[in-house]
Homo-oligomer: A and B are copies of this chain.
Amino acid sequence: MCPIGYVHNTFKEAVFDEKMYSSISQIVLKEELQDGLKNITDFSKVYVLFYFDRSEGYDLIQKRRYDGKLSGVFASRSPKRPNSIGLTLVELLEVKGNMLTVRGLDAIDGTPVLDIKPFIENDLAGDGLRSP
């Protein structure tokens, strides 16, 4: 696993509040990967997979933010996971060269990005949860 780019925003630590969930971030891709963005603006939302590089270790049972219930790590979005991969569905606002502007990325400044994938509305249709 190797970063494809990095997050740039004003968040120096994770807060997970309304401000962060509605905030704007830039993702700056490595220049040599810029062609990988071709036609990404066909989609209004994309998944961002990132690396929780400032999270250490994990607990199998954690109090989850969603509802405060003591729950398993796989029933929560906690950063303290066996594999430190974060996943957030964000709004894609703009793409310029190797820079994406997105809204709703709950990752802090400098976070390594591992992948970007399009969100397909039909993923949620009754006939399948497909990925193109």
Contact = CB atoms under 8 A, between A and B. Distances in A.
A75 B38 contact: yes
A interface majority secondary structure:
mixed
Given A75-B42, A77-B118, A47 B87 contact: yes
Task: Indicate how many identical chains form the complex.
Answer: 2
Contact of A106 (B46, B47, B131): B131
A128 B91 CA distance: 9
Interface of A: 1-2, 4, 18, 21-22, 33, 35-40, 42-43, 45-47, 49, 60-61, 64-67, 69-77, 81-83, 85-91, 103-104, 106, 114-118, 120, 123-124, 127-132
Given A4-B74, A38-B70, A39-B75, 13 more contacts: A2-B82, A21-B129, A35-B60, A38-B61, A38-B75, A46-B74, A49-B85, A74-B115, A77-B131, A82-B115, A87-B87, A88-B131, A90-B129
